[in-house]
Structure 1
Amino acid sequence: MILNLLKRNIAGWMVVTMATGFFSCNKMLDIKPTDQVDGSEIFTSLGTVNKAVLGVYADWEAAYTWRIGSVMADECSIGLKNNGVNGSAQQLYRWSYASGDPEISAPWVNAYQVINRVNRVLEGIDKVPVPDAAAEQEKQHLKGELLAIRAFEHFELYRNYGSSGKYQVSALAVPYVTTSAISNKPGRPSYVTFMAALQQDITAALALIDDNKEVSRMHLNAVNALQARVALYAGNWATAATYAGKVIDKVPLATRDEFPGIWTDRNNAEVIFKLTRTNASPMRPGDIWKNATTGIAYFAPAQKLLSAYNRDLDIRYDSYFDYDPALEKDGQLPDVIKKYAGSTGAENLNDIKVFRTAEMYLIRAEALLQSNKRGEAAADLNILRQHRLLDYEPQNFRDVPQLLQAILTERFKELPFEGHRYYDLKRLLLPIERDQPAATLHPQALFYYLPIPQAEIIANPNIRPNNPGW
C-alpha cells in the first residue's frame, strides 16, 4: 500500500481552528474503508475548508528536514553529552545511520501525511458552494495554496531521498502523489518525470493564488520563491534568476537594525513565508539543538562555521550564536546555536522561516553567474553583504570560480540551521568536510545519500530499488 509508514500514522485528517492568532487542534476525521472522505462537514463552506487548510499548515514539520540539512553537514558539532539514551540524531551526525532510524523516516512520513491531507481537501474543494465571484476567487486561492504546499513537500522528499544529488534526468526520484488513496503501490519516477509533475503544480498554483501578504500562508511571493529554489536545483538558471527577482522586487532585505528581530519573532523583515509554531506544536525547531528539559546541548555550532564570520562587523554572528559559560562548567561545549532559542517560558520555540529574501539574492547570484553574467551576480552578493556587514565595501571577483566559491560561502554563513547546507553540497556533488574532529564524506560514499525508509521498502516492492548501496 502506498507509503506504509503513512498508513500507520494517519487515522484521519486534522481540522484546526484559529484562536487568538494561533493554531489549536479541533478534531480528527476517520478514513473510511473505501478511502473516501465524507465531505458533508468539511465542504459545506469556505470557512470549514479554510480550517482544513490551516490543519495542513499545523501538521507541516519542516524541522525534520532541517535536522538532516544541518546534522549531516558541517554546520554543527555533536554535543559532549549527546550520547546513549540522552542523545539525539547521534548516528545521523556520525554518518552511521540505518534506513529504519527515526531521523531517516520522519521526513518521509510527515511529508506524505501532509500531501495526503492536501489531496483530500483538493478532491472535495470544487463541490464547496460559493455565493458570488469574490467567494469563488477565495476558493481558487485556497486551491492554489494547497497545490503549492503539495509541490513544496514533494520537493523536500526529492531533496532527501532522490538517488542522485546532482540533477540527472534518468535518476530515480520519489513517488509524486496526487490522490488520497493510500492503497496504491507506486514506483519511483525519473527526475525528469518527477519535475514535470512538480512544475505542473507550481504553474497551477501561480495561476490561482493571489498576492496577499500574510507571511504564514503560501501566497504569491512564497510560490515565486519556491519556483526559484526548484529551478536552482534543476539547473534552470534563467527561471531561477527570474523568479528570485520577482520576490526581491517585492520583499526588501532586512536592515541591520531589523535583522536580529527576525529570530526572536519581533518582526517579519524579509520573511517571505514562515510556519507559525506554538506551545501545541509537536516539535519546536530549537529542540534539534538542545533538550530544554535536561539542559543537554545536542549540537553546537561548528568551529568551521563560527570562524567564517567577522564577529565584530557581521550582524549575523550575534543573531545566530551565543556563548554560555554555564554549559562549559557542566562539561559541555559552550558555543550555542541561538537561532531558534525561543524565550523564557517558551524555550526552543520560534516560528520557522521557510523562505527569506536573502536566499533569493543568493539564488539569483548563482543563477546569473551560471548564465555568464558575472557582474550582475557579484552585485547581488555585494548587496547582501552590505546589509549584513558594517562598513562593507563592494568587492570585485577575478574569475568565475572565485565568485562561485564566494556565493557558496555566503550561503554557508547566511542560511545555517535553515535546512540548506547538506542539500547545497549534495546538489553540487561536493564532499562534506568537517574540521573538529576532521572528517570527510565523499559523494561516492554510502552514507552521502539517504535511503528510502526500510518500512516502505518492505511494504511496497514497487518502490525498489533503494538508493545506491542500500
Structure 2
Amino acid sequence: MKKIFNINKLVLSFSLTAVFLFGSCESALEVEPRQSIDANGALSSPDAVDAAINSVYARLRSVRNYGRDLFALADALADVGQTTSNSGRLIGENNNQPNAHFQAGFWQNSYFAINEANLIIDGLAGVQGASQAQRDRWEGEAKFLRALYYFDLVKVYSYIPTAVYQPGVIDQGGIPLVTQGAITSDAAFNRQPARASIDAVYDQIYSDLEDAKRLLTSRGVQYASSAAASALLSRVALYKGDWTKAVAESTLALNSNVGSVLSGNAYVSGWRSPVNPESMFEVRFALAEESIGVNESLQSSYTALLNLTNKNSQGGWGDFIPNATVRGFFGLTQLQIGTPATDNNNWDVTRNSDIRAQLYTTGNTVRGAGRQIECTKFLSKSGFAYADNVPVIRKSEMHLNRAEANYRLGNITEALAELNTFKGLRGLSAVTLSGNAILEEILLERFKEFAFEGQRFFDLKRNGRAIVKTTPNVNVQFDDFRILPPIPQREVDGNPNLNQNRGY
C-alpha cells in the first residue's frame, strides 16, 4: 500500500488539482489551506493525518464556498436583498441573469476537498502509531466534511428531492459521486463519472453522516462532532422530504450539549462574539492572514462599516443590503439620533420588537451609494477585519426544522407549539393558526431568521417556488432554467459522460 502513504505528493500538486477537477482554474486555489500537508510529506503519521484533515476544513473558507458565495451569492439570487452598485459585485446574481450564478471555483474547490477527504479515508489503515480513537475521529471528520461538500454541491447544481422539475424528462440528475481518491494522474484522467441520481447522492450523504454520528464526540464547534452530524442530517432530511428523520435528528441535536439556543439580548450578543454560542459547526478564521479582504468577504459584501465603534471609518463595500421586504420584517427606517447629520455616528434605524432587528443599522457615506441600512451579522467579530467565523449550522435552526417536519407529518399541534416557542425566543407573540397558514408562518420565520445566511434561495427551491423581487424587478418561475447554474463548461467538455444543465 505504498501508494497510499505517499498520496500528498499528488494531492497537493497543482497539476493533480487541475486533473482531478476536470480542468484547471486559478479560483480553485483561492484559499491556500493552512497546516496542509507538505508536498514531501506522507500520510504515515498522526500529525500528517491531522494536517490533511485541516486542509479539508480550510477549503471551506474559500470565497466560492463559505467565505462568501454560499451565504451572500445565494441570498443575492433569492429575494432577500438588493445591490448598491458600490463595487459592481453581485448585481448579475441579484438580477438572476443567465450564467450569473455559482461559479466554477465552487465546483472545483469542493471536488478538490472531496478528493482530499477520500484519500484520507482510503489511507487510514496505513497510518503508523495511531490509536483507535484517533482513527475513528479522522474517519468521522472526513466523512462529515465529505457529506457537507456533497450536500452543498447537490443543492446548488441539482433539483432538491422535494421539488424536481419534470423528473426523468428535464431533470439532469444529481452530481458526479466519487468516494475513492485519485492517487495517480492516469486514474484522474480516466475517471469520467456521469451524474449520479439525486437520490444516490443523498443516500451517500446519509451514509457519511450516520458514520460521523457513530464515530465522533466533540472537540469544539470548528470541528465536526456527532451533534453537528445530527444537525446537518436534520437539514438534509428536510431537503429530502424525509420528515420523520428530520424530526428525529433535530431532536438529537437539540438534546446535545453542542451549541445553545439563545434569545433576547443574548442572541444579539452571540453575533458579536468571535464564536457564536449558537453554532453547532462553524468555519473558523483563526488568523489575520486568513482574512478574505475588503473585496469579497461577507463583512465587505454586507456593510460599508469597519466596526460599530466609529461608523465614519471606511470599511467594506456594502454591496448587498436588505430589501424593502426584510426592512419591513423588522421595522427598519433610517433615524437621525444626533447632530450634525454629516456624522455617520448620529444615524441608526427604527426597530420593532423582534430582537433580530438589532442586527441591522445604518452604514456610512464613504461609498458611492451613500448611507444605507445594512446587516451586521458579520463585522470583524474575530478581532480583525474581513474574516468572521461563519456559523454553518446554528442550534436555533433545529426548532424550525422540527416544526416544519412535524407539520408535514400531520403533527399540527406539535408544529404550532414549536413555532410559537421559537417566536417567543425572538420577542414575538404567539399566533393562532390552522392549516397551510402554519407552514407559511414557519417558512416566514426561516426567512427572517436566516436572512444573510444563505438559506432563502434553497428554501424557495426545495418548495418549488418562484423568485419574485420588486427591486430589482425579477420574476423567475420554478420551471425557469436559471434556477440551476451551469456546470462549469470545462468539466462538461472534458467528460463526455457529464450532462450539462438545461439552458446552458
Q: Same fold (TM over 0.5)?
A: yes
| Structure 1 match to 2:90 | 89
Q: Give the C-alpha shift of residue 138 in structure 1.
A: 2.1
The match for 1:468 is 502
Deviation of residue 120 (structure 1)?
1.9
Deviations 1:148-188 (A, max 9, x none): 10011001000110046745575400011212223211101
Residues 238 and 164 from structure 1, CA distance in 2 versus in 1: closer, same or farther, beyond 3 angstroms?
closer
Instruction: Name the counterpart of 1:324.
Output: 363
SS across alignment from 1:461: coil
- SS state of the match for residue 126, structure 2? coil
SS at match of 1:280: helix
Aligned residue for 1:273, secondary structure, equals strand
Letter aligned with residue 422 of structure 2: L
Q: Residue 146 of structure 2 aligns to which amino acid in structure 1?
A: R
Q: Indicate the residue corresponding to 1:48 in structure 2.
A: 48
CA separation of 1:27 and 1:126: change in aligned 2, threshold 3 A:
closer
Return the offset for 1:469: 1.7
Cα separation, 2, equivalents of 1:234 and 1:220 = 20
Are the aligned partners of 1:167 and 1:233 in contact in 2 as well (CA < 8 Å)? no
Say whether 1:118 aligns with 2:152: no
The one-character-per-residue Cα deviations of 1:424-456 (angstroms, maximum 9, x if unpaired) are: 100101111113344221112222221212221
Do the aligned partners of 2:250 and 2:398 also contact (CA within 8 Å) in 1? yes
Q: Give the TM-score of the pair, scaled to structure 1.
A: 0.85
2:310 matched to 1:301?
no
Q: Are 1:360 and 2:398 matched, yes or no?
A: yes
Report the Cα offset of residue 287 of structure 1. 3.6
1:198 to 193, 205, 208: 205
What is the DSSP-based 3-state SS (H/G/I as helix, E as strand, rest coil) of the residue aligned with 1:178? coil
Letter in 1 for 2:39: L
2: CA distance, partners of 1:267 / 1:198? 27
Secondary structure of the 1:29 match is coil
1:73 aligned partner, one-letter code: A
From 228, 236, 239, the equivalent of 1:233 is: 239
Alpha-carbon displacement from aligned partner over 1:286-312 (angstroms, at most 9, x marks no partner): 243357788532111112111112523
Q: Give the structure 1 partner of residue 76 of structure 2.
A: 71
1:76 maps to a residue whose letter is G
Displacement of 1:375 in angstroms is 1.1
Distance in 1 (CA, whole Å) between partners of 2:291 and 2:105 is 13
How far apart, in 2, do the equivalents of 1:228 and 1:88 lie? 33
Q: Matched residues in 2 for 1:334 and 1:4: separation?
A: 42
- Deviation (angstroms), 1:15: 6.6
**Residue aligned with 1:354, SS:** strand
- The answer to whether 1:386 aligns with 2:393 is no
Q: Which amino acid aligns with 2:362?
A: Y
**Cα 1:163/1:381, change in 2 over 3 Å:** closer
Q: Which consecutive unaligned segments of at least 5 residues does structure 2 have?
A: 1-18, 183-187, 307-313, 332-350
Residues 73 and 327 from structure 1, CA distance in 2 versus in 1: closer, same or farther, beyond 3 angstroms?
A: farther
Deviation at 1:96, TM superposition (A): 1.3
Unaligned runs of 5+ in 1: 18-25, 31-40
Aligned to 2:491: 456
Give the 5 Å matches for 1:352-431.
Answer: 352-389=390-427, 392-397=428-433, 399-431=434-466
Are the counterparts in 2 of residues 2 and 460 from structure 1 also a CA contact under 8 Å?
Answer: no
Secondary structure of 1:125's counterpart equals helix
- Decide which of 288, 303, 309 is 2:301's aligned counterpart: 288
State the partner residue of 2:4.
none
Among all aligned residue pairs of Structure 1 and Structure 2, give the percentage whose two residues are the same amino acid. 24
Amino acid at match of 1:58: A
SS at match of 1:457: helix
Change (3 A) 1:163 1:234: closer
TM-score by length of 2: 0.80
Q: Distance in 2 between matches of 1:7 and 1:325?
A: 36
Match of residue 272 from structure 1: 280
Checking the alignment, whether the CA contact within 8 Å between 2:161 and 2:239 is kept in structure 1 is no
- SS for the counterpart of 2:490 is helix
Aligned partner of residue 497 in structure 2, secondary structure: helix
Q: Which residue of 1 aligns with 2:266?
A: 258
Secondary structure, counterpart of 2:269 in structure 1: helix
Counterparts of 2:273 and 2:390, CA distance in 1: 10
356-365 or 276-285, larger mean C-alpha shift: 276-285
Deviations 1:107-126 (A, max 9, x none): 21221121111112222122
What is the CA RMSD across the aligned residues, in angstroms? 2.6
CA gap 1:110/1:400 in 2 versus in 1, 3 angstroms: farther
Contact 2:300 2:315 in 1 (8 A): no
Higher RCO by CA contacts (8 Å cutoff, separation 6 or greater):
1
Q: Give the 3 Å change call, closer, same or farther, for CA 249–27 of structure 1 in structure 2.
A: closer
Change (3 A) 1:361 1:268: same
- 444-453 vs 101-110, which moves further: 101-110
1:28 Cα deviation after fit = 4.4
* CA distance in structure 2 between the aligned counterparts of 1:92 and 1:110, rounded to whole angstroms: 20
Say which is worse superposed, 291-300 or 242-251, in terms of deviation: 291-300
What's the offset of the Cα at 1:468?
A: 2.1
Q: Deviations over 1:129-151 (max 9, x none)?
A: 236xxx21122111101001001
Would the aligned equivalents of 2:160 and 2:239 in 1 still touch at CA under 8 Å?
no
2:276 maps to amino acid: N
Higher strand share: 1
Contact 2:21/2:112 (<8 A) preserved? no
Displaced runs of 4 or more, over 4 A: 6-11, 167-171, 290-295
Deviation (angstroms), 1:92: 1.5
The answer as to whether partners of 1:15 and 1:52 remain within 8 angstroms in 2 is: no
Work out the CA distance in 1 between the residues paired with 2:301 and 2:70: 11
Aligned to 2:342: none
